Structure 1
Amino acid sequence: MTSASSPGSANRLIIALDFGTTYSGIAYAFSNDKVGLPVSIDNWPGEEGRRPVKIPTLAYYDSSDSSKFSWGAKAGASASRVAAVKLLLDPSQPRPKYLPDLDAEVPAVWSDAAKNATLQAAELAGLNPVHLIKEPEAAALWTTKQLDIALLPDDAFVVCDAGGGTVDLISYQVEETLPHIRVKELVPGTGGLAGSLGLNQRFDDAVRRLVGKEQWRVLQSSKGYNYAAKYFDRDVKRNFMNREDDEYFVSFPMAKLRNDPDRGLESNCWAMAREDTKVIFDPIIQEVLSLIEGQVEGAKAKLGGKSPKYIFLVGGFGASLYLLQRVVEKYPDIQVLQPPEAWAAIAKGAALYKMSNRAIVTSSSATRHYGVSTWGLYDESRDRGQPTLPFKDDTIRTEIMQWYINIGDDLLRHRQIKFPFCRKLDEGYTSDGLRFTDHLYECENDPAPVHPLKVGTFRINCTITSDFSGAPRDKFVKKTNKCGQVYYELSYDLVLTLDGALMKLSLEMDGQSYGSVEAKYHI
C-alpha cells in the first residue's frame, strides 16, 4: 500500500506500508529521486539498538486503563495482546491442518472485499491518496531493480513472497527491457497458509511434547518461554540449513523445568538437534514447494514446456536458508535467488510503484471469473429445467450468467471492461424508481457455470447500487409491446476499471458518464 503527499508537487514523498500478519514495515522515497532507492524505516520503539526493518504486528490495550496502549515490540508478551489482525480482513479460506491453534483465518489470495476493507482502514487513518499493490508485484519491482541479472525479452520468472502468515506467488514474463523493464503476469496468482507463523506454532507443539502438559501449562505464559520463542523466531528460523552439525541451544530462563537428558533438556536449556529442527520445518517447507510447483508448471504450460528462468524468494520466510536450499534441490535447472533485503522487498517495491524509473507491470492474469446474471431468451437445449418469466417485450426468459472476465484472462492496466444492462420501466416511472440494485458475481469453477449456482465457489463479489434519478430523460427509449402497453428501456454500462490491485466502478450511457454507483463488498 502506498500513499503520496502533495499530488500537484513535482517532488512527492511516497510512503509504502507492508502490513503483514506477523511483522509490518514502512519504506519511503521521493518521486524525483533519479537513483530510485527507497529507504526502510529501521528505528522502532522497543527495538532500540537492533534497527530491524520490520516491527511485530502487535497491539496491547490495558482493559483496566484505556490510556495504556502499546504496539509493536513494546506490546510485550502479554496474553491479552492483539496479534495477527490481518487475518480478520477476509475470513474466507480454510486453515491448514498444521495450524491447530490459529483462531482466525487468512486468504491465500486476497478477495476484493479484503482489499476494499484495507483501503477503508487506511482512509479512516487519514492516509490519502492511497494505492494498493499486490505483494508479489511489489516484490517483483524491487527484485528486478536490485538483482544483478540480465533480463531479456520473453524471460519468465516466479516470485515467491513467503511471509509470516501466507505465501503468495505470481509468475511474470518480460515483454521488453528498454527504456524500462515491462513485464506481464504469466500465471494467475496463487497462495496458501504456509507462512513462517506455522513454524512458530510447530515450535510451540515441539516444546509442549518435550516438557509435557503439566509443565507446559506454567511455561507457556512465562518470560522464560517468551525468551525461547524469540530466539527461535530471530535465529533458528533464519539460519537453519539442515547441516550435520546444526544444533541450537534454546534456553528457558528461570523456568525450573525437570531435566530430561535423553531428550536434550538440562538446566532449563534444550539442545535442539538437527532432526528436532527438521521435524518443525519440513511440513511447512513442503507446502511452499507445492505452491512453487504449481506456478512453475503453470508457467511451463504457457511457455510451451519451457521452464521459467528464475525463481525469486522474498519476504521474511523467503530469506530462510533452508527454504533456499530445498528449492535449489528441487529445481537444479532454474536459477533460484534471494534479493538483498528480502525481508524489506515488499515495502521497498511498493514505494517504487509510484516512481517513474521503475519496472512496469502491464497486465494481470485473472484469478477468478467475474460476471453478472441476466435474463436471456429461453433456449430449450441450454435451459431445460430452469425457471422462466414472461417479459414486457413479449419474450420468455430465464436467468443465465454473462461472464466478462474469465480465469487466466490478461487484464491490461487501466483497461475498462463494460458490463451492459438494460432496464424496462413502466410508463409511470418516477425518480425513486431509478435506483437499481445488481450483483457482480465471481466464481473459481472452471469452466464457469452457465446458470447461477448455490454451491461451490460461485458467490456474490459485491452488491451494486446504481442511481439514475439525475440522468437525462432522452436516454430513456419509449416502446410499446404487442398488447399496446407502453414502457421505457434504459440501457447503460457498468464500467470496471483495473487500477493496480483494485477494481473501480462507474456508470456510462452511450459512452458518457451518468449517474452514481456504490458497491458493497461481500465477505
Structure 2
Amino acid sequence: MVRKLPQPQGVRLYLSVDFGATHSGVSYATSTNGKVIPIVSWPGSSDPLRKIPTCLVYDSLGNVRAWGLEARDINLRRGWIRCEWFKLWLDPKYTISPSLPVGKHPGDVIVDFLSSLWMYVKERILFKYTLDTLSKWDIIAVPASWDAHTSLLLREVAIKAGLAVQVSHEDMYWQERLHIIPETEASAIHSVALARFLPNQKFVICDAGGGTIDIATYDIPRALGMPEIAEVPLRSGSYCGSLFLDVHFRELVRARLADHPSHLDEASLAHFLLTFSGSEKLHYKGSVDDTKMFHFRCLHLQDSDDPSAGLENGKLIIPGNVLRHEVFDPVINQVVRAINLHIHSSRVHVDALLLVGGFSANPYLFQRINDEFKSSVPSIIRPADGDTASNRGAARSGLYPTVTSVIPSQSVVMRVRLPAEPEDKRMRPTYITTSGGTHFCENSRVDVELRKFSAVPSGMHPRTPSEAFTSSSGDLDSIFDTVIYTSNVDETLRYTDQGETNELCLCRVDLKELPSFKEQAMVTTPKGFYTDFELGFEMGTAEIRGELLCKQRKFGSVTFDLCG
C-alpha cells in the first residue's frame, strides 16, 4: 500500500459543497472541534436556510447579475436570462439542450455559480482563521450514476471556480485537496453516524435529490468504536428527481390554460411554479389530498375567471387527485421501480432502507416507498437532517474516514508498454516492437487497474510498473504520457480492441524529480535512456488520483487531462 501524504500542520478545514441540480448548500468542519457546521445565512433571506436555489441570472452581455435566492426572485429585465438545472449539463446522458447566455458554454455557467458560492462562503468562514496555519480541503458529492469522465469534468470546473488553488510554488499536491465522492457515499457516512447498525447488517441509501435518484447498498463490516461502511457491488441512478415534478406541473398548467394564453407567458409559468415548489411540492400527501383543492394565484388579473379551466377569482385551482395522477405519480412510480430493481439486483438481504435528499421530505414519496417495501425491509427510515445528509456526510468524510472499500461501476485500464509474452506474439503480432534486443507489446496493450464491480480497499493504490524512453537528441523531455480507458465489458481486457473501451483521460507525469532520471540525464548517451518507475492509483468511487513512485517513495503527482 502506498503511504498517505502526511497531514499538514495547523488547522485543517474540510469544506463540503453540495452542488445540486435544484438547490445547493455548504457545510464545513475543522480539525479543531470535529463538528460539521452548515452555512445557513445566505444573501436574499433574513431567515436561516440550509440550501439555496442553484440559479444564476445574466444580463444581455453575459455578466452575472444575481445568484442563489436573489437570482430566483429577481425580476428579469429585457435581454436578461435566468439559468437553472445547469448541473445536469455535465452529464452526457442528459439530453435537454440548455438555454445559455451570450458567449457562455455549459461549463462556464457552472464555474460562475461555484465562484459566486465560494466567494461568499470564503467571507463567512476564513475570517475566523489565520491563513498561514489553515489547510483547506474541498469535498464535492456527485450523483452515484455519474461515470469517471463526468466526475473528472466537474473537478476541472471546480478548479476553474477557485475551490482548489495552489498557495505557493512548494504546494505540489494542491489538486489532491479536492475530493469527489458519490452522494450516496456521503449520505451513508452521515446516516451511519446517527443510526445503530449491527456488524454485517446491510442498508440501502436512496438519495432522492432534485435531478437524480441515486441508490447504493452498504455493509457494516465490523464493530469498532468508529463506524465503518463498505459498499456492496451495485450502484444505480435515474433521472426522476423532484425537478421533474416541476416539469410535469408546468405541462399540467399549460394543458389546463391552453385557451388562456395570457397566463402562459414565462413570467406567469414561473410564478405558478414558484408557488408549487415552495409549498405543495414537498408537502403533498397523496390520496388523502385527493378531494382537496390547491390554489395557485395568477400573476395577471385579466382573463382570470373561467371555472371550466379552474380559473376563479384570480387563482388557478387544481384538484388534489389531478395533481397526484398528472404530476406526482409519474415521478414517484419511477422512484419506486428504481429502488425495487436495485434491491432485487443486489441479491442481498436488506436490513434497512434510508431515504435522504431534498425530495425525501415529501410525505407521499415516503408513504409509497413504505407501502412497497415494508414487508421485505425491516426498517425504512428518514434520518434526521436527511435533506442535507450528503452535504454533512461529505464534510464528515474528511474528519473521519469511514468507507473501508469502494466498488467501481466500470473497469479502468491503462495503456502500457510491456515485454511481449507468447500470447501477445500469437494474438497480436503486429503490436510487437523490438528495442535493445527486447520484444515489447505496445500501442493497444492495456493493463487492468480496476475491475468492474470488484471491491477495492479504501486507500489501496494499484501500482503499475512503467518505463519511459528519453531521447538524447535536442532538449531532454521528462514528460511521460499514457491513456486511461474505462470499459463496461465484464471480461478482463488485454487489448483495447477486445471490447468497447472509452478514452477517459490523458495521464501525464513529470519524471525529472526521479533520482534515476537525474543521474542518466547528466550522462551523454547517443541512444538515449530508459527510466523505470511506478504509477500508483488511488481509485475512489467517483474519481481517480495518481502518484509517481520509485522504490516506495513518492516523487510527484499524476495529472489527468480529459480526452475529447
Answer yes or no: is 1:180 the counterpart of 2:226: yes
Contact 2:152/2:543 (8 A) holds in 1: no
Distance 1:476 1:387 in 2: 35
Residue 476 of structure 2 aligns to a residue whose secondary structure is: helix
| Greater CA drift, 439-448 or 170-179 | 439-448
Distance 1:469 1:17 in 2: 35
Say if 1:509 and 1:130 are closer, same or farther in 2 by CA, change over 3 A: closer
Say if 1:162 and 1:121 are closer, same or farther in 2 by CA, change over 3 A: farther
Answer yes or no: is 1:61 the counterpart of 2:52: no
Distance 1:515 1:381 in 2: 32
Distance 2:440 2:227 in 1: 53
Contact 1:166/1:193 (8 A) holds in 2: yes
Shift of residue 449, structure 1, vs aligned partner: 4.0
Q: 1:142 maps to what in 2? A: 190
Matches within 5 A, 1:303-342: 303=348, 307-332=349-374, 333-334=376-377, 335-342=379-386
Unaligned runs of 5+ in 1: 1-5, 478-484
Kindly tell me the number of residue pairs found equivalent between the two proteins.
Answer: 489
Higher helix fraction: Structure 1 or Structure 2? 2
Matches within 5 A, 1:40-51: 40-49=38-47, 51=48
Matches within 5 A, 1:437-476: 437-453=481-497, 456=500, 458-473=501-516
Please point out which of 121, 126, 133 is paired with 2:181.
133
Residue 559 of structure 2 aligns to a residue whose secondary structure is: strand
Matches within 5 A, 1:364-383: 364-374=406-416, 377=420
Answer yes or no: is 1:117 the counterpart of 2:156: yes
Please point out which of 542, 548, 553 is paired with 1:507.
548
Answer yes or no: is 1:226 the counterpart of 2:273: no
Please point out which of 163, 167, 170 is paired with 2:216.
170
Q: 1:395 maps to what in 2? A: 439
Shift of residue 164, structure 1, vs aligned partner: 0.9
2:156 maps to amino acid: A
Distance 2:557 2:29 in 1: 36
Say if 1:138 and 1:459 are closer, same or farther in 2 by CA, change over 3 A: same
Residue 407 of structure 1 aligns to a residue whose secondary structure is: coil
Could you tell me the TM-score, scaled by structure 1's length? 0.82
Q: 1:85 maps to what in 2? A: 86
Shift of residue 250, structure 1, vs aligned partner: 2.1
Shift of residue 229, structure 1, vs aligned partner: 0.9
Deviations 1:446-496 (A, max 9, x none): 23544314985x21221022333454448999xxxxxxx978543321111
Say if 1:204 and 1:216 are closer, same or farther in 2 by CA, change over 3 A: farther
Contact 2:257/2:309 (8 A) holds in 1: no
Please point out which of 205, 218, 222 is paired with 2:251.
205
Deviations 1:341-361 (A, max 9, x none): 2212222222322335xx721
| Greater CA drift, 177-186 or 258-267 | 258-267
Say if 1:404 and 1:54 are closer, same or farther in 2 by CA, change over 3 A: same
Residue 416 of structure 2 aligns to a residue whose secondary structure is: strand
Matches within 5 A, 1:278-293: 278=324, 279-293=326-340
Identity across matched positions, percent: 23
Say if 1:511 and 1:26 are closer, same or farther in 2 by CA, change over 3 A: closer
Please point out which of 48, 69, 77 is paired with 1:73.
69
Distance 1:387 1:340 in 2: 61
Say if 1:429 and 1:326 are closer, same or farther in 2 by CA, change over 3 A: farther
| Greater CA drift, 288-297 or 229-238 | 288-297
Distance 1:29 1:516 in 2: 26
Shift of residue 118, structure 1, vs aligned partner: 4.7
Say if 1:487 and 1:17 are closer, same or farther in 2 by CA, change over 3 A: closer
Contact 2:514/2:550 (8 A) holds in 1: no
Shift of residue 146, structure 1, vs aligned partner: 3.2
Deviations 1:407-430 (A, max 9, x none): 11222222111122234566x566
1:181 maps to amino acid: P
Distance 2:15 2:550 in 1: 38
Q: 1:238 maps to what in 2? A: 282
Contact 1:101/1:201 (8 A) holds in 2: no
| Greater CA drift, 513-522 or 331-340 | 513-522
Say if 1:432 and 1:29 are closer, same or farther in 2 by CA, change over 3 A: closer
Contact 1:16/1:350 (8 A) holds in 2: yes
Shift of residue 288, structure 1, vs aligned partner: 2.0
Distance 1:309 1:144 in 2: 13
Residue 415 of structure 2 aligns to a residue whose secondary structure is: strand
Say if 1:338 and 1:424 are closer, same or farther in 2 by CA, change over 3 A: same
Shift of residue 60, structure 1, vs aligned partner: 1.8
Shift of residue 23, structure 1, vs aligned partner: 0.5
Residue 123 of structure 1 aligns to a residue whose secondary structure is: coil
1:109 maps to amino acid: W
Answer yes or no: is 1:416 the counterpart of 2:464: no
Say if 1:379 and 1:366 are closer, same or farther in 2 by CA, change over 3 A: same
Say if 1:28 and 1:283 are closer, same or farther in 2 by CA, change over 3 A: same
Distance 1:220 1:361 in 2: 49
Unaligned runs of 5+ in 2: 1-6, 101-105, 108-141, 167-173, 521-525
Deviations 1:304-350 (A, max 9, x none): xxx21111111111222121112112212212211122212222222
Shift of residue 9, structure 1, vs aligned partner: 3.4
Say if 1:447 and 1:263 are closer, same or farther in 2 by CA, change over 3 A: farther
Contact 2:548/2:555 (8 A) holds in 1: yes
Say if 1:394 and 1:495 are closer, same or farther in 2 by CA, change over 3 A: closer
Say if 1:474 and 1:80 are closer, same or farther in 2 by CA, change over 3 A: closer
